[in-house]
Amino acid sequence: MAAVLCVGLTTLDVTQRVDEFPDPGQKIRSLGAVLSPGGPAANAARAVAALGGRAALLTSLGADALGEFVRASLDPVQVIAVPGTTPVSMVVVRDADGERTVVSRNASVPVTAPDLTDLLAAADVVLLDGHHEGLAIPVARRAKAAGLPVVLDAGSWKPVLDHLLPLVDVAACSAGFERSEAEVHSYGVPLVIRTHGAKPVTWSRNGSAGELPVPAVAVNDTNGAGDVWHGAYAYALASGADPVGAIGFASEAAAVRVGAVGDWVEELARWQDSRSGSTSC
């Protein structure tokens, strides 16, 4: 079973669907509200588990009701949470096109990594989101020394990336990531990937570059789509896929996410089960 260690942010998401985003000062009625785990690393871990992989999540959560709710909701992901706070994200999704807006506090308390020996020994791939510097840097250093592939979810620039990028094998960047491919390569990153929403995914490696189209899909909810992309990509790598070839699988999984209304984890699991083999990429 392909095993991925996801390291980074976990949140409690409060998601509401609306007909239209409110104007400043306006009060509107939502079409529905859902409480669920969120955050880049947590969503990626949920995607790995839904695809049939073994997912471990190294993160920080508060020892309170919010933290306990999130822990319970992440099953069957193996959660290793160091003491901290449980960030809350307020997510509003526009019903017509799935566009979303997010207000979040993210991680604000310094954390210290636990013993990493067993976690890294059980992993085939490590996925980092750049949050929780006290976890990300020790994991990346140990993984690099052990020869484990390290994938970075590069959604936005963070100061810690000056230290993380030299330890990364694949940097998967969002369209809005503030550094060019050449700048990311200059840190020693072999493969740089950039997603562009509904447009083709671009990549560059060893002087070569290319692009791969993404599936056309009716968009119902874009929240967490990038997280699912990263989780599916890491799962494909852990399953033995070529680092460039894994892009297509990740884009297909993300398309399932944006097309889902409701429990996207179940939708992703059903999609994987409908393929030729539940562990194939």
pLDDT value of residue 262:
77
- Nearest Cα neighbor of 254 from 172, 142, 180, 146 is 172
pLDDT value of residue 112:
94
Please give the share of the chain, as a percent, with pLDDT higher than 70: 97
Which of these ranges, 146-155, 180-189, 260-269, has the smallest mean pLDDT? 260-269
Region class of 78: left (phi > 0), else alpha (psi between -120 and 50), else beta: beta
Q: What is the mean pLDDT of residues 151-177?
A: 97
The pTM score is 0.93
DSSP for the chain reads --EEEEES--EEEEEEEESSPPPTT-----SEEEEEEESHHHHHHHHHHHTT-EEEEEEEE-SSHHHHHHHHHTTTSEEEEEE----EEEEEEETTT--EEEEE----S-------HHHHHT-SEEEE-S--HHHHHHHHHHHHHHT--EEEEESS--TTHHHHGGG-SEEEE-TT-SS-HHHHHTTT-SEEEEEETTEEEEEEETTEEEEE-------S--TTHHHHHHHHHHHHHHTT--TTTHHHHHHHHHHHHHH--S-HHHHHHHHHHHSSSTT--
**CATH number of this structure's domain 40-63+110-275:** 3.40.1190.20
Q: What are phi and psi of 263, to 5 degrees?
A: -80, 95
pLDDT value of residue 279:
45
pLDDT band (50, 70, 90) for residue 277: low
pLDDT digits (tens, 9 = 90+) for 205-235: 999 999 999 999 999 998 899 999 999 999 9
Q: Where are the domains of the chain?
A: 40-63+110-275
Q: What is the mean pLDDT of residues 128-148?
A: 97
Q: What is the mean pLDDT of residues 106-119?
A: 88
Give first-to-last CA distance, the chain, whole Å: 13
